Amino acid sequence: MIDAKIPTGDLDKKWEDYKGHCKLVNPANKRKMEVIVVGTGLAGASAAASLGEMGYKVKAFCFQDSPRRAHSIAAQGGINAAKNYQNDGDSVFRLFYDTIKGGDYRAREANVHRLAEVSTNIIDQCVAQGVPFAREYGGLLSNRSFGGTQVQRTFYAAGQTGQQLLIGAYQALERQVALGNVQMFARHEMLDVVKVDGKAKGIIARNLVTGELERHFGYAVLLCTGGYGNVFYLSTNAMGSNVTAAWKAHKQGAYFANPCFTQIHPTCIPVSGDHQSKLTLMSESLRNDGRIWVPKKKGDDRKANDIPEEERDYYLERRYPAFGNLVPRDVASRAAKERCDAGYGVGTSKQAVYLDYAAAIERYGKTEVSKKGLSNVSHEEIIALGKEVVKEKYGNLFDMYAKITGENPYEVPMRIYPAVHYTMGGLWVDYELQTSVPGLYALGEANFSDHGANRLGASALMQGLADGYFVIPYTLGNNLADEIYNAPIPTSHPAFEAAEKTVAERIARLKNINGKQTVESFHKRLGKIIWDKCGMARNAEGLKQAIAEVQALKKEFWSDVRIPGEINEYNPELDKANRVADFIELGELMCVDALAREESCGGHFREEYQTPEGEALRDDENFMYVAAWEAKGEHEWSLHKEELKYDVIKPSQRNYK
């Protein structure tokens, strides 16, 4: 059993107590301490900015051309906070409770409670930075409800919440760059962690423009490098999102926790053909107002608008009357897959269901009529008014849908299908966000910490910013307070030399294969294996096959991949090859983890373990633990378990009926 260093005491006092007693680094010493932050999405930018403000010397890295472009920018729907501005019964406890329950009782109580506590500070901080959240006519902040909860606690900026939050964090970061507290390295990719005496003391990074390898020292290394959803090839993640940084850390001794916990989001634009390079999310907020249905008749080929009301099956409302279209993501995704597998899917591929706004448009239209005190209004006018309201709320999403599909979602129902979206698994961290390698931390989506087996909507942005703005500034100091006695390590140290040599050799090896197949083609094949066998539904047979297939793919990759261009130049194919090589190894571990977890929970649905109604069947007796995997050698891992103790919440079967 591994120790997560959770403070003792009452759940709601733990963080207060911790903050009251943690060690501090005095300002003069902070100025002498370099800290490395890899990744400048919400987690990394907020951490780098905050640490810079505190006086640390920060070096921050990202692979895009600017920190403003991190994948966090794409988040649409919103960010949760237990403000209870709507007076609808929200509280820190309720946000904590919803997150634990939504995660199907596979998250740590202490971390999640802390997250709920600091959620309110995040909103305040972002408002102060000038993040233009949506507001009511009275000038106060507006909220909406979001999948899986019954209170309105989600703050948003139209359908661009992630963009606005990231720009806020980015601006705070650039301010620290201007003040000389943060040095920013854009178009740089971290390719290894450097350890000295068992502690993380730096990184090897590749300048992506020149291809040169660089050594960087830091008293601590923070990985804020995002999730690994692109292991599936097709996902809603940005094209460059990758597991490389986390994977290198894993190979250096950091445990990788719950890799099989991946989130398949229910509302994405369906795949249109083999050429597809990525999938586009239609924000979950659309489920607040849209109704999801398929025809009652199998293989019904009529156009959606020609299918009369009584021949439509609103299957979520039918199966889950209490939550209806707002059931958590894992439940909604599986229900869509179930209908399509059973032959009720729509569109050319039959791998899609309808998300219908007709009823919402009419409802909003009528509200406008009474708001404006209009009389003698025709049906057409009501619909026109309703469309205006929907446009204001979801306009950018509707536009995006129209651009991609060429269809007008104000007139015909949207077609949607589940797609890979988020990874709950990630580097194992303790209460202080430290991995099993001392001095190496993981923040944001890169760690596994707060979402258990399923993440609730609008809580990833919350977690990323909580980690960066409000957690790491305390926990890092607690550990660095002891480091001040150690002199900085020069990058001529043998550990740096050896690490750089390993990285250079691997790149040379990749380049020299000079095979026939493209990196992209390998990535596609990997994605198909993982999607088919370790996707929305898994079984032992399939997982065993997948492991063998991924191992074979790895061999083929390392003997037949073709990377054009030179090593010492701007070479995006080489960057991609580095990442795909790591994804292949991760793919194997995901299947190993999924095979070992003989239960269904959250996003992990093992077909062998389900209730008679087809719902996930947990096995708390045997599997109420975090699976933390330690790398042992090629195709070899050993499992460490972190037992999950529920002192405050009593786990029960999730019931959204």
Ligand X SMILES: Cc1cc2nc3c(=O)[nH]c(=O)nc-3n(C[C@H](O)[C@H](O)[C@H](O)COP(=O)(O)OP(=O)(O)OC[C@H]3O[C@@H](n4cnc5c(N)ncnc54)[C@H](O)[C@@H]3O)c2cc1C
Site for ligand X in 42-81 (CB under 6 A): 42-44, 61-64, 70-72, 74-79
Tell how strand 220-223 and strand 440-442 pair up.
Answer: parallel
Q: Which does 21 bind (CB under 5 to 8 A by kind): other proteins, ligand X, none?
A: none
State the nearest-atom distance from the C-beta of 43 to other proteins, in Å.
13
Binding to ligand X (CB under 6 A): which residues in 270-329?
281
Distance of alpha carbon 70 from alpha carbon 580, whole angstroms? 19
Residues 566-585: x where in contact with other proteins by CB under 8 A, - otherwise, as a string? ---xxxxx------------
Instruction: Decide if residue 397 touches ligand X (CB under 6 A).
Output: no
Query: Which residues are 295's β-sheet partners?
Result: 312
Distance of alpha carbon 143 from alpha carbon 136, whole angstroms? 9
Residue placing its CB nearer to other proteins in the complex, 68 or 538? 68
**Helical H segments across 561-604, by residue range:** 572-596
Instruction: Decide if residue 373 touches other proteins (CB under 8 A).
Output: no
Q: Which does 474 bind (CB under 5 to 8 A by kind): ligand X, other proteins, none?
A: none
Binding to other proteins (CB under 8 A): which residues in 199-218?
209
Residue placing its CB nearer to ligand X in the complex, 62 or 326? 62
State the nearest-atom distance from the C-beta of 568 to ligand X, in Å.
18
Residues 104-143: x where in contact with other proteins by CB under 8 A, - otherwise, as a string? -----------------x-xxxxxxxx-xxxxxxxxxx--
Q: What distance lies between CA 359 and its chain's CA centroid?
A: 32
Tell how strand 426-427 and strand 256-257 pair up.
Answer: antiparallel
Residue placing its CB nearer to ligand X in the complex, 166 or 561? 166
Instruction: Decide if residue 184 touches other proteins (CB under 8 A).
Output: yes
Instruction: Decide if residue 528 touches other proteins (CB under 8 A).
Output: no
Instruction: Decide if residue 133 touches ligand X (CB under 6 A).
Output: no
Residues 145-184: x where in contact with ligand X by CB under 6 A, - otherwise, as a string? ----------------xx----------------------
Give the helix, strand, coil percentages of the chain, each rounded to 5.
45, 15, 40
Instruction: Decide if residue 445 touches ligand X (CB under 6 A).
Output: yes
Distance of alpha carbon 466 from alpha carbon 459, whole angstroms? 10
Binding to other proteins (CB under 8 A): which residues in 214-253?
238-240
**Helical H segments across 598-652, by residue range:** 620-623
Long-range interactions of 364-368: CB distance < 8 A, separation 24+: 364/389, 364/390, 365/389
- Counting Cα atoms < 13 Å in the Cβ hemisphere of 499 gives 29
Number of residues near other proteins (by CB under 8 A): 82
Which of 296, 564, 608, 611 touches other proteins (CB under 8 A)? Answer: 564
Q: What is the DSSP string of 54-105?
A: HT-EEEEE-SSSSGGGSGGGG--S-EE----TT-SS--HHHHHHHHHHHTTT
Binding to ligand X (CB under 6 A): which residues in 186-205?
188-190
Residue placing its CB nearer to ligand X in the complex, 245 or 352? 245
What's the alpha-carbon Rg for the chain, to the nearest Å?
A: 24
Residue placing its CB nearer to other proteins in the complex, 275 or 650? 275
State the nearest-atom distance from the C-beta of 314 to ligand X, in Å.
24
φ/ψ of 536, rounded to 5, equals -65, -30
Terminal alpha carbon distance of the chain:
36
Instruction: Decide if residue 119 touches ligand X (CB under 6 A).
Output: no
Element (H, E) at 267: strand 262-268
Binding site for ligand X (CB under 6 A): 38-44, 61-64, 70-72, 74-79, 161-162, 188-190, 224-227, 236-237, 241-242, 244-245, 281, 421-422, 444-446, 458-461, 464
